Structure 1
């Protein structure tokens, strides 16, 4: 447990290294070599100590999980492919032995034409199969050849998976970084912004306590969506195997398989916006082979794409890093500048665990700079005045949403203070991992208030609101979460996300009917639910006084028996009348 606590402290420390996204344009072979060194040290840099390596990068197969709770669960077999560095198990058995007898190690393509023909067709259509297919790629390939010290007539299976089938490995960004160091180091630079980002997808998946709690309760496969969507620390999330086309990665659909749905409806809000409709109407005719830095707005793209907006680093530079301009951080962290009336005023309640350990300052110098970067991006197609007004409107809108969330949080605070849930807190199941969180993390990370609450109440603590209250959407404990907690979590995490993304991407119907209007409705539902809960508590207290509850139970039983007898007599009488007639 001491090691776990030490690991959590180390995890709370910055994982970063100094890369400036705006300075990632390679200009010399020396710079590329330095980038290659960083790229091939991908996991050593992102997880720079033994504890973090033990949590995320040391391969343990399927014997235990990942992260600080790794000994509480064993991953499902598919995690071999979602998180190969940690969980991949090399193939064995007679099937593979027979293949290796039939084919030589150099016969990868011939073998896989029989075993996985789709892979081969994708590869044959890729630039890897023909790395000098046009002058642009020939120039890039020559640069890579200098970098790796050998000629590339084609990039084959063994270049990415290894030459020995019995020592097979799944390629990772460190593998890709040998030939593509600039793209890989750009991707690595996401870590500077902290979570949410792509490269810490595994960490963000397994660290929240509800993840191992689901395993403890017997629902590991149910988290398929969490696992697959959080497997984002790999290049083939956007550049799908085995074609790995840059042109595919530049299209909005490359983002949409993950960035859609309940908590981040980017696909819906962009796709159904005026920008999205122009893309749907005309996008097939655009030149997707062209690098983003060469795109002329209005000429090459008549409307922006996800990548064109989010990968813009300013000053005409684009990088494999879409998070540098993020300000609202998915809209889940309470911002400063609101006179909170609820317990949100105390956020983060002394917690010192990232990403729970800060409040947003939307108007800090750094965030003002990021907002101006957005104005600059939008001004490529709109007037700067319109772009700035739109950005300011987004900020004003989000402050309104947070004031509504404050109102909702206050309703829940009152229910918690009065323990007016349908089932009293002491009779509910624990908060996920609530029985071990206090001892595992300690007051230094949890803060005294949160630590004492978990320690003294054996984990039976109602947790609502950002960000730990997210368990209200998918925990499986009995009577925890209750209906009112689910209603609130649905409002602040789902409805507010639709409102936020609808405004950010210019989709009015989602911003209103599936966003703001739903937030307003949930406020009223919460108020009604709270009235009913408090009324029910008063009735219970009244009935419990002087044994009324027992008397009421007896009276209720008598009334029930009499009702059954009367109903039975009525049926008997009706049957007799039917027979006589």
Structure 2
């Protein structure tokens, strides 16, 4: 009898549960405790009046939906180098905050993403510029004209907005005008952390959909030296995106954003997304075979080195560091990128495309950069490059050969932008190398800089 009663009760409960799946109308009490703290509510209420744009973004964010508020990200310990009580809402309390939200805060919830980011080229963006004497001299001496009244403006309004800078603190531990605000992806903070998640997931919505669209990348990846957004628009991928991309689905969960949500890849699809059996990664360099930004393109081999660790130990970016890439080298990197392509293309299509694109990179290396570098080194050894290189025609043509036309040639080839691989690329290079040879032969013959 007891057994029959228990079976009957179990069957009734199963029927009741089945009837209520997706229907909570019969549930009397349904509460999820994710309430904000008193201080958290106080921050939101104050900022709703003072900075309503921030609060409106936060209200639409996933953070807002789960009760993560201002104080959860902006509160720091009293002994933090960034700690301040400059905000009236915390003044005189035991709460300390910082305007700066660093990767150390983000990694409390997103440790894998922060680790992957630090292994990428993005993680080195600020360190490289800060540690290169040539870049510092270009920004402050040549571009900044050593003007004491405008010191730092060339860097603050330009380079650091993409690369990032070492943030310095002034009165009340608040960041200085020379170093903040910025959107630099490789920002270096007083707490020793490096990176800027908000470069792609902008404050205070931190949208995954926004970061998946080409606009997230085109703030920095555009212009004469690396026109990646323009190259994308020139490609068939960009053609399809510009025709219908506003209708695609961008908010699928990580590792679930697949063809069908979109008809052509965006930057994030190829460089970051979990597609097929690939996992989502924040190491944007992981699937890259070549370092296309450098004067000469080398294979991304030799393993990874953590630029943040080097910065802390040596106080500089070591020239010996291998370029960021796949931990197993360039072959593994290309294999992963081919898996991305295979979601939409045949194996033959993918193999043929990369075969010719790789040859275009080798053409740049062997027929343009290497001869130009050889001539430059010989002239310099003989004192035939001007002390002020930006008055020297050979130096200017050489610089543009690799930094502008050469990058366009290589990046256009690997991202299927024919106008950039050709007219803005190799066509310009064949003129550059002829101009360099003409100047080189004249100087070697006369022993003079005209």
TM-score normalised to structure 2 length: 0.68
Gap change, CA 1:359 and 1:234, over 3 Å in 2 = closer
Structure 1 runs of 4+ with >6 Å offset: none
Larger relative helix fraction: 1
Which of the two has higher C-alpha Rg?
1
1:289 to 242, 246, 251: 251
2:261 to 275, 295, 300: 300
Separation in 1, partners of 2:57, 2:409: 39
RMSD: 3.0
2:365 to 398, 402, 408: 402
1:532, distance to aligned residue in structure 2 (A):
4.4
- Structure 2: unaligned runs, 5 residues or longer: 1-38, 77-84, 164-183, 186-194, 300-315
1:359, distance to aligned residue in structure 2 (A):
8.8
Separation in 2, partners of 1:483, 1:402: 22
Contact 1:371/1:391 (<8 A) preserved: no
Corresponding residue for 2:239?
277
Corresponding residue for 1:107?
42
Contact 1:173/1:235 (<8 A) preserved: yes
Corresponding residue for 1:160?
73
Q: After alignment, is 390-399 or 307-316 more displaced?
A: 307-316
1:106, distance to aligned residue in structure 2 (A):
4.8
Corresponding residue for 1:447?
none
Contact 2:117/2:283 (<8 A) preserved: yes
Deviations 1:453-478 (A, max 9, x none): xxxxxxxxxxxxxxxxxxxxxxxxx4
Contact 1:335/1:359 (<8 A) preserved: no
Contact 1:333/1:359 (<8 A) preserved: no
- Structure 1: unaligned runs, 5 residues or longer: 1-103, 132-153, 191-196, 338-352, 429-477, 541-581
Separation in 2, partners of 1:354, 1:184: 19
1:185, distance to aligned residue in structure 2 (A):
3.3
1:199 aligns with 2:123: yes
1:509 aligns with 2:419: yes
1:411, distance to aligned residue in structure 2 (A):
2.6
1:124 aligns with 2:45: no
Corresponding residue for 1:328?
290
Separation in 1, partners of 2:256, 2:40: 42
- Report the 3-state secondary structure (helix = DSSP H, G, I; strand = E; otherwise coil) of the residue aligned with 1:374: helix
1:189, distance to aligned residue in structure 2 (A):
4.1
Alignment of 1:359-370 (within 5 A): 366-370=329-333
Separation in 1, partners of 2:50, 2:400: 45
Contact 2:291/2:298 (<8 A) preserved: no
Separation in 2, partners of 1:530, 1:304: 45
Contact 1:325/1:371 (<8 A) preserved: yes
Separation in 2, partners of 1:302, 1:499: 27
1:322, distance to aligned residue in structure 2 (A):
1.5
Alignment of 1:417-428 (within 5 A): 417-421=381-385, 423=386, 428=387
Q: Aligned residues, how many? A: 338
1:226 to 159, 163, 167: 159
2:134 to 185, 210, 222: 210
